[in-house]
Amino acid sequence: MALDIGIDLGTANIIITIAGKGIVLNEPSVVAYDKKKKAVVAVGSEAYKMIGRTPEYIVAVRPLKDGVISDNDMTEAMIREFIHMVNGGAMMKPRIVLCVPSSVTDVERRAVVEAAMSAGARKVFLIEEPIAALIGAGVDISKPNGTMVVDIGGGTADVAIVSFNGIVQSRSIKMAGNKFDQAIIRHITQKYKILIGEKTAEKAKMEIANVFDPTGEKTMTIRGRNLLKGLPESIEISDQDIYDAIHENAMEIVEQVKLVLESTPPELVGDILSNGILLTGGGAMLGGLPELISDNVGAPCFVAENPIECVARGVDAAFKMSGELLDGFEQIQLYNFK
């Protein structure tokens, strides 16, 4: 039997599904490469542990940036390793469904397809993230009824209105989890003169962020290097610190929601007022974000169940729906691959 593999190729995480088995792998999108041996040392969680802790000749990199491939060779190596992990070295070449942001260009689509083909795919399909996110969240998108989704990953935020299996309006911005982390690092550096790492910023965002109504009472201790003394130091920060760091970034996502609604037919806007706005992706769990969007847009906003896995579940379900989906699902014969 042919093997069907679904890949949510995220900037922060890669989630892989196998038809009939569901999610079989969820790992960080990181590759560790040995420049001396010219070989991949580790991928996923093992490589993630190496970020900021390796000697000069080993580099731990994220080969995907802002939702698209920034390093073809590393992405290809990473996909190959992950496919091998879930495939168990089976000889049969799999069919692969890959997820891409809604605003991805033809050049970027080609890069994703080539990486998957080089990694051993027999046939490659592409599905757009908003379509996959809604299917994975259990929404029936086949009806002529407007549904709005905001999918916030590590590299991009996709805002789209879907009706009758197709995307009616969409916008994609490079404002997501990684940008929030960078903003937190900058703010802590400027305010406290303490330099913290990527992982510390991410932990603070996940544990105490509130982009709607911070009280200043939720706190956590972080460790970093004092830039004036050059020595390690621990400080206590609050949800107000995180709000000051990332509120502006969160408002950029709100603005995109408004822009999509402004260019949507009024009948569909009416649907969204009654159906609400669905948040998916890791960024959906940002404290206070549903309230911030709802307060600014005037429509109810809620987080999908298990938002991180929505896109992957949608990718998994896409094989069965390939005949129904319109612009969200493309066969790659368009690219004339042999």
> Within 10 A of 110 (CB to CB), how many other CB atoms are there?
14
> Does 36 fall in a domain?
no
Per-residue pLDDT at 331: 45
Same domain, 285 and 254: yes
pLDDT in tens, 226-237: 999 999 999 999
- Say yes or no: 9 and 92 in one domain: yes
Burial of 134 (0-12, 13-18, 19+ CB in 10 A): buried
Which residues make Cβ contacts (< 8 Å) with residue 145, sequence separation at least 6?
163, 271, 275
What does the DSSP 8-state code read for residue 272?
H
Q: What is the residue-wise DSSP string for 23-91?
A: EEEEEES-EEEETTTTEEEEETHHHHTTTT-S-TTEEEE--EETTEES-HHHHHHHHHHHHHHHHTT-S
What is the rounded CA–CA span in Å between residue 33 and residue 219?
37
Quick check: is 91 in a domain? yes
Q: What percent of the chain has pLDDT over 70?
A: 93
User: In this structure, are 102 and 238 located in the same domain?
Assistant: no
CATH of the domain at 282: 3.30.420.40
Co-location of 230 and 331 in the same domain: no
Chain position carrying tokens 């995109």: 256
pLDDT digits (tens, 9 = 90+) for 142-189: 888 999 999 999 889 999 999 988 889 999 898 899 999 999 999 999
* pLDDT tens-digit readout, 76-89: 888 888 888 887 76
216 plus 103 within the same structural domain: no
Tally of domains within the chain: 3
Q: Is 191 part of any domain?
A: yes
Phi, then psi, of 35 in degrees rounded to 5: -70, -30
Q: How far apart are CA 302 and CA 54, in angstroms?
A: 41
Up-side HSE of residue 149: CA atoms within 13 Å toward CB? 31
Q: What CATH number is given to the structural domain containing 205?
A: 3.90.640.10
Residues 6+ apart with CB under 8 A from 40: 31, 32, 33, 34, 77, 78, 81
- Are both 222 and 291 inside the same structural domain? no
Are residues 225 and 318 located together in one domain of the fold?
A: no
Distance CA 98, CA 129 (A): 9
User: Are both 166 and 197 inside the same structural domain?
Assistant: no
Is residue 47 assigned to a domain?
A: no
Residue 156 lies in a domain: yes
Sequence-distant (6+) residues with CB within 8 A of 114 are 72, 76
Whether pLDDT at 335 is above 50: no
Torsion of CA 36, 37, 41, 47, to 10 degrees: 20
Q: Would you mind telling me the total number of residues written for the chain in this entry?
A: 338
pLDDT given for residue 284 in this prediction: 95
pLDDT at 95: 86
- Decide which of 204, 220, 245 is a domain's last residue: 245
Residue pair 212/291 in contact by the 8 Å Cβ criterion: yes
pLDDT tens for each residue of 24-69? 999 999 999 998 988 889 999 999 888 878 888 998 888 888 777 8
In a domain, 227, yes or no: yes
3-class SS of residue 154: coil
Flag whether 318 is in a domain.
Answer: yes
Residues 296, 156 share a domain? yes
Both 316 and 209 in a single domain?
Answer: no
pLDDT at res. 3 = 80
SS3 319: helix
Determine how β-strand 277-280 pairs with β-strand 301-303: parallel
- Cα–Cα distance measured from residue 148 to residue 188, given in angstroms and rounded to the nearest whole number: 35
Written as six digits, the tokens of 195 are: 């330099």
Rounded Cα distance between 209 and 150, Å, is: 19
- Single pTM value for the model: 0.86
Range of the domain at 273: 140-175+250-305
- CA 29 from chain centre, in angstroms, equals 10
- pLDDT for the residue numbered 89: 64
Q: Return the SS3 of 119.
A: coil
Residue pLDDT, tens place only, 109-147: 888 888 888 888 888 888 888 999 999 999 988 888 999
The maximal CA–CA distance of the chain, rounded, in angstroms, is 63
Report the alpha-carbon distance of residue 323 to residue 329 in Å, rounded: 9
Residues 293-321: tens digit of each pLDDT:
999 999 999 999 999 999 999 988 887 77
One domain for residues 206 and 261: no
Q: In this structure, are 155 and 295 located in the same domain?
A: yes
Residue 46 lies in a domain: no
With CA atoms as reference, report the closest residue to 67 among 180, 201, 172.
172
